[in-house]
A and B are shown apart, each in its own frame.
Chain A
Amino acid sequence: GAVVSQHPSRVICKSGTSVKIECRSLDFQATTMFWYRQFPKQSLMLMATSNEGSKATYEQGVEKDKFLINHASLTLSTLTVTSAHPEDSSFYICSAREGETQYFGPGTRLTVL
């Protein structure tokens, strides 16, 4: 089946710094990728939809200037958490769409000290 990678798997950073997370579709091209945030024992919360070659579409309540998304190619989307604060600590998961099916990356555990 389709494979999606995500890097890094875990990152610890100081408050005020920026962190970039990469999401790659390894064996297929993905015009559309999605970024989710997941809190412990909760469901996946869609943050934004990333479309190759165009601006991302953010869900209501998600700050686009804080969570910068770039979908530079058909196999790569990046999420940059700018000026991270402890409340941004979470599990971030991307997915890539092939047809109607979304395949998920392994997630990135972000801890902001």
Chain B
Amino acid sequence: SQQGEEDPQALSIQEGENATMNCSYKTSINNLQWYRQNSGRGLVHLILIRSNEREKHSGRLRVTLDTSKKSSSLLITASRAADTASYFCATPAGGSTLGRLYFGRGTQLTVWP
């Protein structure tokens, strides 16, 4: 399977701390996406990083991609209780010309006030 796998499965921190989630994948990719899911809701796209980028920022989010290690990380700085959600990495389905993605099982982040 080309499915990305997030690590850790669950993360619990205090408000103001940084949260780091990792994603590992198995085959070569040209991009990786991160999504967020609030409890009982659909997923929302956060950020896309291409294989020729090593780091990308969006507000309090920082994403890195290391294609040699086949891994990516999502860092949320100065976390807030509202960041409590599940976070998923998504990788392209190899050989697909149709825009299909594989999603990992997610990291459940809990931020305590």
**A, B assembled together:** no
What residues of chain A have their CB less than 8 Å away from a CB belonging to chain B? none
What residues of chain B have their CB less than 8 Å away from a CB belonging to chain A? none
